[in-house]
């Protein structure tokens, strides 16, 4: 789960990480009022969307008067901000007004889970304000990597070593060490999967500020942090994925037009590969899991068909815990109740497969069946292509 910049900064501030003064606004008038509350002679108006690269897309505007703040916010509200990370665009419903900062230097600080080594990886650089991926290609030697053993936690010497490694002045080392250790505490306390402060800036006076921040959390740990779960903004999420998640389905939306309903993550990945090999493009990853009842199959059908790009659908079930007859009953019920008009291909194997095949065959519905995954992938691609050809 991702959260907005202003939410991430509120969390960091609670842990003692310094952030600029700012305020949230839901209208241009409120944005202008925020600037008077903050005071000063310069402000930055930032679109609050779950995407990086906002500045390049026109989502970050520097203003020098209340009127400029009003005009900048008015331009941003309701705008679909298209960035490299969000090519389809994200609608702007709120903006964050922040005091302008006298920036002397921009740094990068990030925390991620290294699943391969089961440790926390801290990535830092003396060059901030840009994508770390670009920096890794252009100047890999500018990146400092430090592995932290979760059972031990970050030590003072590790934090100071990072601060020295990114070229900070001697007088800034203690402050930087404090920021690193407190940010690490946020990461571990709240079960985050990613924390990025980019840029972490040194001001003209030499102090450090988290000028921008991103936080992502482990969905499976949100039950331990209800205060974090409440920060969720579903308007920034894929509506297909949100619909499926609310119904307990493991779903990831893709860009293709062949819908998939499969049990088991490994089988789902193999199925998508076979669709690609057959010349098609999968529209989603959907694992209905074990013990799929007819009602769960119906919910899965709805989740797939919520994507208006889906032109054909493949159901691939290898039943162990599942039962093929349950799945077949659910497919028949879904096809009828949802008035399905696109081609549907079903491949069943495993527990009660004969009964499942009988239910499909005797339904009288134009459902195509296959005995192997390769055949099912070929059939669904051909069926989609034939359906697209005018009669």
Residue 37 annotated as lining a ligand binding site: no
Identify whether 196 is a catalytic site residue: yes
Asked whether residue 283 carries a pLDDT value surpassing 50, the answer given is yes
pLDDT mean over 58-66: 95
Q: Give the pLDDT confidence of 31-44 residue by residue, as tens digits.
A: 999 999 999 999 99
- At 142 the three-state DSSP class reads helix
Tell me whether residue 9 is in a domain: no
Identify whether 199 is preceded by a cis peptide bond (ω within 30 of 0): yes
Among 108, 184, 251, 335, the active-site one is 108
Selected residue with higher pLDDT from 284 and 389: 284
Share of the chain above pLDDT 70, in %: 97
Tell me whether residue 7 is in a domain: no
Sign of the alpha-carbon torsion through 347, 352, 354, 357:
negative
Same structural domain, 165 and 33: no
CA–CA distance, 326 with 213 (Å, rounded to integer): 47
Does 129 appear as a known binding residue? no
Q: Which domain holds residue 78?
A: 18-100
pLDDT exceeds cutoff 60 at 390: no
Of 237, 259, 288, the residue that ends a domain is 237
Is residue 212 annotated as involved in ligand binding? yes
254 and 367 in a single domain? The answer is yes
Q: Which of 384, 376, 358, 277 is nearest to 317 (CA)?
A: 376
Task: Tell me how far the alpha carbon of residue 255 is from its chain's centroid.
Answer: 15
pTM of the full structure: 0.77
Same domain, 116 and 96: no
The C-alpha atoms of residue 210 and residue 198 are separated, in whole angstroms, by 7
Write the pLDDT tens digit of every residue in 85-105: 888 788 899 999 999 999 999
Select from 68, 100, 132 the last residue of a domain: 100
The yes-or-no answer on residue 5 being catalytic is no
Please check whether residues 184 and 250 belong to one and the same domain: no
Q: Is the pLDDT of residue 388 over 70?
A: no
Per the annotation, does 40 bind a ligand?
Answer: no
Q: Would the annotation count 384 as a binding residue? A: no
Terminal-to-terminal C-alpha distance of the chain: 46
Nearest to 282 by CA among 302, 310, 249: 310
The confidence score (pLDDT) of residue 115 equals: 85
389 pLDDT more than 60: no
Given pLDDT bands bounded at 50, 70 and 90, which one contains residue 391? very low
Active-site entry in 5, 127, 196, 329? 196
CATH assignment of the domain containing 62? 3.30.1490.20
How many domains, the chain? 3
Q: Which carries the bigger pLDDT value, residue 141 or residue 342?
A: 342
Q: Would you state the pLDDT for residue 166?
A: 93
Q: Is 198 annotated as contributing to ligand binding?
A: yes
Q: Do residues 36 and 124 share a domain?
A: no
**Distance (Å, rounded) from C-alpha 294 to C-alpha 331?**
7
**pLDDT reported for residue 195:** 97
CB 121 within 8 A of CB 147: yes
């Amino acid at each position: 789960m991702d959260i907005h910049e202003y939410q991430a900064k509120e969390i960091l501030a609670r842990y003692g990480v310094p952030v600029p003064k700012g305020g949230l606004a839901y209208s241009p008038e409120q944005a202008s009022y925020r600037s008077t509350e903050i005071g000063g002679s310069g402000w930055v108006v930032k679109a609050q969307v779950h995407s990086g690269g906002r500045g390049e897309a026109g989502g970050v505007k520097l203003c020098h008067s209340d009127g400029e703040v009003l005009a900048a916010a008015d331009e941003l509200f309701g705008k679909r901000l298209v960035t490299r990370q969000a090519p389809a665009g994200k609608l702007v419903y709120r903006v964050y007004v922040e005091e302008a900062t006298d920036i002397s230097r921009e740094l990068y600080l990030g925390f991620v889970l290294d699943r391969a080594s089961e440790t926390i990886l801290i990535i830092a650089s003396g060059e901030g304000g840009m994508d770390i991926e670009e920096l890794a290609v252009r100047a890999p030697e500018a990146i400092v990597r430090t592995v932290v053993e979760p059972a031990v936690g970050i030590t003072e010497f590790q934090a100071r070593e990072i601060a020295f490694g990114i070229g900070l002045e001697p007088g800034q080392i203690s402050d930087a060490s404090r920021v690193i250790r407190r940010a690490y505490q946020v990461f571990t306390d709240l079960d985050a999967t990613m924390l990025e402060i980019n840029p972490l800036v040194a001001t003209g006076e030499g102090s450090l500020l988290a000028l921008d921040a991103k936080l992502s959390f482990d969905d499976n740990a949100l039950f331990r942090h209800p205060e974090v779960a409440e920060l969720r903004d579903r308007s920034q999420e894929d509506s297909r994925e949100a619909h499926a998640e609310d119904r307990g389905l493991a779903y990831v939306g893709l860009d293709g037009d062949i819908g998939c309903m499969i049990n088991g993550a490994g089988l789902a990945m193999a199925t998508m590969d076979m669709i690609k090999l057959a010349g098609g493009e999968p529209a989603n990853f959907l694992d209905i899991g074990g013990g799929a009842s007819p009602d769960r199959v119906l919910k899965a059908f709805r989740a797939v068909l919520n994507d208006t790009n889906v032109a054909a659908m493949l159901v691939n079930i290898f039943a162990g815990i599942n039962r093929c007859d349950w799945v077949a009953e659910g497919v028949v019920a879904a096809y009828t109740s949802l008035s399905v008009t696109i081609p549907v291909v079903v491949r069943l194997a495993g527990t009660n497969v004969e009964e499942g095949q009988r239910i499909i065959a005797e339904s009288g519905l134009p459902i195509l069946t296959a005995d192997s995954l390769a055949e099912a992938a070929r059939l669904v691609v051909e069926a989609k292509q034939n359906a697209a050809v005018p009669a």
